[in-house]
Chain A
Amino acid sequence: MSASALLASATHPTELYALVRYILTPTPSSISPASKKSSVSPSRSPTRARCYHFLNLTSRSFSRVIAELDDELRHPVCLFYLVLRALDTVEDDMTLDIARKAALLKDFHNKIYQKGWKFMDSGENEKDRLLLQEFDVVIEEFLTLDEKYQKVIADITKRMGAGMALYIATPTPEKPRYIEIETTPAYNTYTHYVAGLVGIGLTDLFAASRLEQPQLTSPANIELANEMGQFLQKVNILKDFLEDLQEGRVFWPKDVWSKYVPEGRSVDALAEEQHQDVALACLNELVVDALKLVPSCLSYMSLLKNPTVFQFCAIPQMMAIATLDHFYNNPSVFRTTGTKIRRGLAVKLMLASTDMRSVKKQYEQYALSINRKNADAVGKNDKDKSFMKVAVACADIVKWVHAHDETQLVPAANNGWKFDWVVAVGLVVIACALAMGMLPTVL
């Protein structure tokens, strides 16, 4: 925890409080290889320790979230994460020959059963190349998992690898990017492969562990799980536009951005200051697309029964809605890379991710916040046609919260008129003054 995080939250007392609480509270079951009642592997195995080392190395925020999980699920989820992280590192690697990359992506679900397999040829710049170089360790641990968990992980790895292979490309003069997504349906399919499948796989793991009901894997609920993943991915795709563009990847669908870029220009025009109006209009159209997933995400979370599973799912979702609120109509998407929500806010949201009631409250606040920004933006950007669509998407979130508000008492028709009548009579004097044309006659 850095002092800068505290400083950034200095004007947000609730965040300061959250930060301090977070610093003072020990992690409930800190990430360590030696978990007391681990169901699968013997404690203190060196390969297991190495896996958690990689987990901490590749994702600090995720390792913290995994730490909250029940012992039964922690190890399978950890390995699920590491396998997919390795797959992702292959996908991201621009130094690999395209044919070799595609073959490896498609075959990765077999590699995880090959004891001793590792991959030494990742590009120098791949930050997680070490994971692939020592992947034999991950395989070792994967093979200690209960077969029901292995099956889920292998199945998702197979589907995701095959999906990723459809999208990779070698840059050519006509198509200068590694990834370019043509249409909105392709955007939906892509986010399904790289993130929706994570939601689906996790759901299968939850059910397999019996910490959640088997009904969680019904087709309707699997679709909700898919949308959970898609929402997270789409928020990241929006936020990381500039960074991805600089690395030669464009995930924003062409059928959307092409409506906004100037004639004859490509998507990089959005990053130019003189095109800020169209860039924001394009961003906001994609924000609407992401916001529409939120009711499904809420529905999914409301199905979860196990508190540790709930928290595990809710934390990233809360971060995502907060991120969307931050980046909606925000020019910084096109100016700077690596901007994140304040650490203090992140911690506050983590602490608020413990139960559905608190999550609903936060979502309602974010929906209102985005709607407020939306209303303030009306008429300030002629290119932006998303006003009513953002408004309706925000309203749909609040409507969902209302419909699932079990605390709400059905209010009796309010006929409490008499008391106010007394107040009103007392104010008649003021009234007379005001009535002389000073009253704003709204409506």
Chain B
Amino acid sequence: MAKQESYLIIGGGGFLGKRIVELLLESPSPPEVYILDLRKTFDNPRVKEFIEGDITDPVAVNNACKGRTVVIHTAAVIEGFPTPVYWKVNYEGTKTIIDACRKQGVPTLIYTSSASVTYNGQDLRNGTEKDPYCEIHMDTYNETKAAAEQLVLSSNGGGLATISLRPAGIFGPGDNNASKGLYDAAKKGNWKFMIGDNSTLFDWTYVDNVAQAHILAAQNIHRPGVSGEAFYITNDTPTFFWDVPKYLYNELGYRNTLHTRIPRSLGLLLGSVVDALVAILKPIRKINPTFTKFRVKVITNNRYLNIAKAKDVLGYSPMIPLEEGLRRTAVHWKAFDDAAKAAEAN
């Protein structure tokens, strides 16, 4: 290779983005790594520059993209925002990035999408990338992710090669979603309850594997037939839904967990009630319930994917097995919990 690759990781200060940065820098011949994120979240002398900036600001994005050979776009707002913010950041922001890549002549754009762009609670076994987008998305996050993914993929060509990756159930030490949700639930005393009979399979993906997939996508994108495609990324180890919480709770020291089983039918009913309440109260007060009908459906239906395409085309294979990923995650939360308890004691 004549010229050293130069990567820009947008959202590189976040949970996934940071692991992409670290894996890139740990590689045998590391490329230049730049980060664009709203706030500087860590210091790493090997990072060329940590640029603070907003992806909805074309000037900032254009400056950051200038001279890069690869842009990896992992930034998004996930939950707790009003609808217009999702569209502004997740959709408009992505559009801004695509435009900047074109303008600055960046040849490669990797976009972090989500497996939920095709999922809204249905029973899904061995789903493939041929499955259509949802007609009705479960929430605005997914709707905007799907819209942005379509934008990214349709922008492929004319000097810009794009790929969209769809990880399912990302978790890892300190994630803000999956394992944090379980940790918080346990703290609230919800380690006692489970919905359904734990007979359905669910895909999880350890963060390092997702990061690795991004790097592989960037490395393989210019081979024929790779760009313009979407790929599911999982740990390729679907497990019965409640076994993962069970493992984490046990590692955190909870015993006899999930002993109270709420039947699926009752769970769906309660979820519907909550949904109705949220809808009714919407004009008065915004509620973000955790117990929704959608969540009950996700938990009590199969949701796992076939990742043959990522394996065959990108050469992807999960480096960190599920159990090892869970072990590392549990170690993190155990330490977090011990620290929290120590702080409380003082």
A contact residues around B193 at 8 Å (CB): 440, 442
- Asked, given contacts A371-B198, A392-B239, whether A441 binds B291 with beta carbons under 8 Å apart, the answer is yes
A contact residues around B326 at 8 Å (CB): 388
In the complex, which residues 172-210 of chain B have their Cβ closer than 8 Å to any Cβ of chain A? 181-182, 185, 188, 190, 193-195, 198-199, 201
A415 within 8 A of B: yes
Bound-state CA distance A329–B190 (Å) is 27
* Cβ-defined partner of A389 (8 Å) among B246, B254, B323: B323
B22 within 8 A of A: no
Asked if A395 and B122 make an inter-chain contact with CB atoms under 8 angstroms apart, the answer reads no
Bound-state CA distance A399–B302 (Å) is 10
Q: Report whether over half of chain B's contact residues are helix, strand or loop; otherwise say mixed.
A: mixed
* Cβ-defined partner of A420 (8 Å) among B122, B132, B272: B272
Q: What interface size band does chain A fall in?
A: 35 or more
Complex: chain B residue closest to A395, CB-CB? B239
Asked if B238 and A413 make an inter-chain contact with CB atoms under 8 angstroms apart, the answer reads no
Expressed in whole angstroms, the minimum distance between the Cβ of A58 and any Cβ of chain B is 41
In the complex, which residues 357-397 of chain A have their Cβ closer than 8 Å to any Cβ of chain B? 368, 371-372, 375, 378-380, 387-389, 391-392, 394-395
B contact residues around A414 at 8 Å (CB): 120-123, 297
* Segment at the interface with A among B47-55, B98-106, B275-283: B275-283
* Segment at the interface with B among A243-251, A292-300, A426-434: A426-434
Asked if A420 and B247 make an inter-chain contact with CB atoms under 8 angstroms apart, the answer reads no
* Segment at the interface with A among B38-46, B64-72, B154-162, B256-264: B256-264
A411 within 8 A of B: yes
A423 within 8 A of B: yes
* Cβ-defined partner of A443 (8 Å) among B255, B272, B290, B323: B290
A24 within 8 A of B: no
Bound-state CA distance A441–B126 (Å) is 29
Bound-state CA distance A131–B273 (Å) is 72
Q: How many residues of B contact A (CB 8 A)?
A: 59
Complex: chain A residue closest to B123, CB-CB? A411
Asked if A441 and B242 make an inter-chain contact with CB atoms under 8 angstroms apart, the answer reads no
* Cβ-defined partner of A439 (8 Å) among B123, B237, B270: B270
Expressed in whole angstroms, the minimum distance between the Cβ of A277 and any Cβ of chain B is 15
B contact residues around A371 at 8 Å (CB): 198, 240, 243
Asked if B276 and A392 make an inter-chain contact with CB atoms under 8 angstroms apart, the answer reads no
Asked if B322 and A388 make an inter-chain contact with CB atoms under 8 angstroms apart, the answer reads yes
Asked if B237 and A435 make an inter-chain contact with CB atoms under 8 angstroms apart, the answer reads no
Bound-state CA distance A368–B136 (Å) is 32
- Asked, given contacts A442-B190, A442-B193, whether A392 binds B272 with beta carbons under 8 Å apart, the answer is no
In the complex, which residues 293-344 of chain B have their Cβ closer than 8 Å to any Cβ of chain A? 293, 295, 297, 299, 302, 304, 322-323, 326
Expressed in whole angstroms, the minimum distance between the Cβ of A413 and any Cβ of chain B is 5
A contact residues around B277 at 8 Å (CB): 428, 431-432, 435
A3 within 8 A of B: no
* Cβ-defined partner of B273 (8 Å) among A372, A392, A427, A442: A427
Asked if A415 and B290 make an inter-chain contact with CB atoms under 8 angstroms apart, the answer reads no
Expressed in whole angstroms, the minimum distance between the Cβ of B296 and any Cβ of chain A is 9
Complex: chain A residue closest to B133, CB-CB? A413
Asked if B276 and A391 make an inter-chain contact with CB atoms under 8 angstroms apart, the answer reads no
- Asked, given contacts A387-B247, A387-B250, A440-B262, whether A424 binds B190 with beta carbons under 8 Å apart, the answer is no
Asked if B122 and A388 make an inter-chain contact with CB atoms under 8 angstroms apart, the answer reads no
- Asked, given contacts A368-B199, A392-B323, A413-B134, whether A375 binds B276 with beta carbons under 8 Å apart, the answer is no
Asked if B276 and A428 make an inter-chain contact with CB atoms under 8 angstroms apart, the answer reads yes
Asked if B199 and A428 make an inter-chain contact with CB atoms under 8 angstroms apart, the answer reads no
B contact residues around A394 at 8 Å (CB): 240
Expressed in whole angstroms, the minimum distance between the Cβ of B290 and any Cβ of chain A is 5
- Asked, given contacts A413-B135, A414-B122, A440-B193, whether A431 binds B276 with beta carbons under 8 Å apart, the answer is yes
Asked if A441 and B185 make an inter-chain contact with CB atoms under 8 angstroms apart, the answer reads yes
Expressed in whole angstroms, the minimum distance between the Cβ of A366 and any Cβ of chain B is 12
A contact residues around B199 at 8 Å (CB): 368, 398
Expressed in whole angstroms, the minimum distance between the Cβ of A423 and any Cβ of chain B is 6
Bound-state CA distance A435–B243 (Å) is 28
B contact residues around A402 at 8 Å (CB): 125-126, 201, 302
Asked if A392 and B262 make an inter-chain contact with CB atoms under 8 angstroms apart, the answer reads no
Complex: chain B residue closest to A425, CB-CB? B276
Asked if A395 and B190 make an inter-chain contact with CB atoms under 8 angstroms apart, the answer reads no
B contact residues around A420 at 8 Å (CB): 268, 272, 293
A contact residues around B188 at 8 Å (CB): 441
Asked if B276 and A427 make an inter-chain contact with CB atoms under 8 angstroms apart, the answer reads yes
Asked if B291 and A443 make an inter-chain contact with CB atoms under 8 angstroms apart, the answer reads yes
Expressed in whole angstroms, the minimum distance between the Cβ of B192 and any Cβ of chain A is 8
B269 within 8 A of A: yes
In the complex, which residues 122-140 of chain B have their Cβ closer than 8 Å to any Cβ of chain A? 122-126, 132, 134-136
Expressed in whole angstroms, the minimum distance between the Cβ of A362 and any Cβ of chain B is 15
- Asked, given contacts A395-B237, A398-B201, A421-B272, whether A443 binds B181 with beta carbons under 8 Å apart, the answer is yes
* Cβ-defined partner of A375 (8 Å) among B237, B242, B289, B295: B242
Complex: chain A residue closest to B272, CB-CB? A424
B60 within 8 A of A: no
* Cβ-defined partner of B247 (8 Å) among A368, A388, A421, A434: A388
B contact residues around A389 at 8 Å (CB): 323
Expressed in whole angstroms, the minimum distance between the Cβ of B209 and any Cβ of chain A is 15
Asked if B275 and A424 make an inter-chain contact with CB atoms under 8 angstroms apart, the answer reads yes
A1 within 8 A of B: no
Chain A 136-149, CB-CB to B under 8 Å as 1, else 0, gives 00000000000000
* Cβ-defined partner of A434 (8 Å) among B254, B268, B273, B275: B273
Expressed in whole angstroms, the minimum distance between the Cβ of B187 and any Cβ of chain A is 11
B274 within 8 A of A: yes
Asked if B194 and A442 make an inter-chain contact with CB atoms under 8 angstroms apart, the answer reads yes
A contact residues around B136 at 8 Å (CB): 413, 415, 417
- Asked, given contacts A388-B322, A388-B326, whether A439 binds B274 with beta carbons under 8 Å apart, the answer is yes
Bound-state CA distance A132–B44 (Å) is 77
Expressed in whole angstroms, the minimum distance between the Cβ of A82 and any Cβ of chain B is 43
Q: Which residues of B contact A (CB under 8 A)?
A: 120-126, 132, 134-136, 181-182, 185, 188, 190, 193-195, 198-199, 201, 237-240, 242-243, 246-247, 250, 254-258, 262, 268-270, 272-277, 280, 289-291, 293, 295, 297, 299, 302, 304, 322-323, 326
Beyond known contacts A375-B243, A391-B243, A421-B276: 17 more, CB 8 A cutoff: A375-B240, A375-B258, A387-B246, A387-B247, A391-B239, A391-B240, A391-B247, A399-B126, A399-B304, A402-B201, A403-B126, A413-B135, A427-B269, A428-B273, A434-B270, A434-B273, A442-B262
What are the 8 closest A-B residue pairs judged by CB atoms, nearest first?
A424-B276, A424-B272, A431-B273, A391-B243, A388-B323, A402-B125, A379-B255, A414-B122
